[in-house]
A = this chain, B = another copy of it.
């Protein structure tokens, strides 16, 4: 299983629920708790919401997952990757990643502010191309 190593690195035991959670988040890119458990139930009919919450929280705390908040939507989870930009569509709620380099921005902010930065959450809101077409 491809996530075994990742879990072990962070001192989390490898359980079927956990590898399934990581697989589904990977597949979805971004996903909120409701969609996540809905999908998980097809493989684990008795999985509990509490388990999913406990796990995503653990994974967030250990740095496996990233959490993003888009106004008007529930928290969304994704695998921790390079700093990048999230484009959120106000109409359909979809989130798209854009891997533009943020190093310059972060370095400059660090220097000017004296903060020691280790994480970034950049969410740009607007209308996605597909929703622009629909409303045109």
Give A residues with C-beta under 8 Å from B.
60, 67, 69, 71, 85, 87, 89, 96, 98, 100, 105-106, 108-110, 112-129, 132
Contact check, A125 vs B129: say whether CB atoms are below 8 A apart.
no
Cross-chain pairs A/B with CB under 8 angstroms, 16 sampled: A60-B71, A67-B71, A89-B115, A96-B113, A98-B109, A109-B124, A113-B129, A114-B128, A115-B129, A117-B124, A117-B125, A119-B125, A119-B126, A120-B123, A121-B122, A121-B123
Copies in the complex: 2
Q: Which residues of B contact A115 (CB under 8 A)?
A: 87, 89, 96, 124, 126-129
A119 to B86, CA, bound (A): 12
